[in-house]
Copies of this chain bind each other. A is one copy, B any other.
Amino acid sequence: MSEALARFSINQMTVKQLSLPELAAACTDLGIPGIGLWREPVRSYGLEKTAKLMRDAGLTVTTLCRGGFLTETDPHARVRAIDDNRAAIDEAATLGTDTLVLVSGGLPAGSKDLHGARSRIADALADLAPYAASRGVRLAIEPLHPMFASDRCVVSTLAQALDLAERFPASQVGVCVDTYHVWWDDQAPAQIARAGRGGRLHAFQLADWVTPLPEGVLNGRGQLGEGSVDLRSWRALVEEAGYGGPIEVELFNEALWSRAGHEVLSETSRNYLQHAC
């Protein structure tokens, strides 16, 4: 492993064209020490099999994505969501990662009540946080860009994420800072400091902001260095706040997915060194 990449982690979605064995081999080849995994491809390949693949390759699983979607009002849907999140916590423990990232959920169909949705997330966390702690897993609430507030995540800012997290011990619930989601927010630097003081900086992810956004806006994340985000400044902010953990790059981008995975991985690690180190 190259020393310069010591904290680099590749989120699996960035190169989803690679199978898990291909990804593990490419990381070994390029000296990349960490991988952020997603539940669906892990389940397809097999949970125990993935855990063994990561161990055998000497790779650190930096996060598991994702739990969450905790905003439903229907009681049956809420029970299913809690059960599913307990399963995600178990999967994180089996994979050997200490961090489960939460995408909290959008508004239920027909609802206009953001405040109520945020309250239901808090209720669900009261159930999930102690269970996660019992499995050695921390929950990391990820604020998503406000353009996802209705359909994906009513937690739009670090301040909101911390308001939720601070109801629980820092060892149980913290936040995931993703530059793509917070770069526009002039309050985010102060909130990163708040999170650091509280020991709640549980994950840090990089992506750049490029326009025009594609239809549906989900898969328009920019390769590092190609957009408007001052990545080095954001890294400095989390480090000044005490963060010394993995730096995970998570890009959802149709153009990157259409290219050879090894090439994209190599480019991403180069861009990380150039723009975030």
Q: Footprint of B on A, CB under 8 Å? A: 107, 111-115, 118, 145-147, 149-151, 156-157, 159-160, 183-187, 209, 211-217, 227-230
User: Which of B146, B216, B229, B230 has a CB less than 8 Å from the CB of A147?
Assistant: B146
Known: A113-B230, A228-B112. A146 touches B185 (CB 8 A): yes
CB-based contact A227/B147 at 8 Å: no
Shortest Cβ distance from residue A70 to the other chain B in the assembled complex, whole angstroms: 17
Number of copies: 2
CA separation between A185 and B146, bound complex, in Å? 8
Secondary structure at chain A's binding surface: helix, strand, loop or mixed? loop
Some 24 contacts from A to B, beta carbons below 8 A apart, are: A107-B228, A111-B228, A112-B229, A112-B230, A118-B186, A146-B147, A146-B185, A147-B217, A149-B184, A149-B209, A150-B209, A150-B227, A151-B211, A151-B212, A156-B184, A156-B185, A159-B187, A160-B186, A212-B215, A212-B217, A213-B216, A213-B217, A214-B215, A217-B217
Complex-state Cα separation, A213 to B212, whole angstroms: 12
Residues of chain B with a CB closer than 8 A to A212's CB: 151, 215-217
- Asked if B186 and A150 make an inter-chain contact with CB atoms under 8 angstroms apart, the answer reads no
**What separation, in Å, do the CA atoms of A156 and B157 have in the docked complex?**
13
Give complex CA distance A205, B159 in Å.
27
Chain B residues with CB under 8 Å of A211's CB are 150-151, 216
Closest to A110 in B: B228
A184 to chain B, nearest CB (A): 4
Say whether B112 contacts A146, CB under 8 Å. Answer: no
A118 to B146 alpha-carbon distance, docked (Å): 20
The chain B residue sitting closest to A151, CB to CB, is B211
A146 to B227, CA, bound (A): 15
Residues of B within 8 A of A149 (CB): 183-184, 209, 228
| CA A36 to CA B114, docked complex, whole Å | 30
Residue in B closest to A154 when the chains form the complex, CB atoms: B184
Residues of B within 8 A of A115 (CB): 186
Chain B residues with CB under 8 Å of A229's CB are: 112
Residues of B within 8 Å of A156, CB to CB, are 184-185
Note all chain B residues with C-beta closer than 8 A to A186. 114-115, 118, 157, 160
